[in-house]
């Protein structure tokens, strides 16, 4: 794997963390493109991150949670 790819991956993680995201998983895949005639490798970076958004309600710290503890607004009950 190319050092430049790893540097780019680290920079993407840093950018997310600077914005308050908690990066939980990183996957870097390097490959030669089957569609290009070039010899330069390509890379795909998959980042998984989470960030809590508060609603200003200091009583529970959680918003949208009903009595059953289910916070999915799209779930039918």
Q: Of all residues in the chain, what percent carry a pLDDT higher than 70?
A: 78
pLDDT at 60: 47
Q: Please answer whether residues 33 and 58 qualify as being in contact, where contact means their C-beta atoms are separated by less than 8 angstroms.
A: no
pLDDT digits 0-9 by tens, 51-64:
998 875 544 444 55
The region, left, alpha or beta by phi > 0 then psi within -120 to 50, assigned to residue 11 is alpha
What is the pLDDT of the chain when averaged over all its residues?
Answer: 81
CA nearest 47: which of 72, 18, 66, 23?
A: 23
Structure tokens at 3: 């050092």
Structure-model confidence comparison of residues 63 and 70, the more confident one: 70
> What is the C-alpha separation between 59 and 20, in angstroms, rounded?
23
Full-model pTM: 0.61
pLDDT tier at 8, thresholds 50, 70, 90: very high
């Amino acid at each position: 794997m190319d050092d430049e790819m790893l540097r780019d991956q680290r920079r993407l993680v840093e950018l997310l963390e600077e914005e308050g995201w908690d990066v939980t998983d990183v996957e870097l895949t390097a490959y030669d493109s089957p569609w290009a005639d070039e010899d330069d490798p390509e890379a795909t970076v998959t980042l998984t991150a989470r960030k809590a958004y508060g609603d200003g309600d200091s009583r529970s710290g959680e918003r949208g949670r009903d009595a059953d503890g289910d916070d999915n607004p799209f779930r039918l009950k």
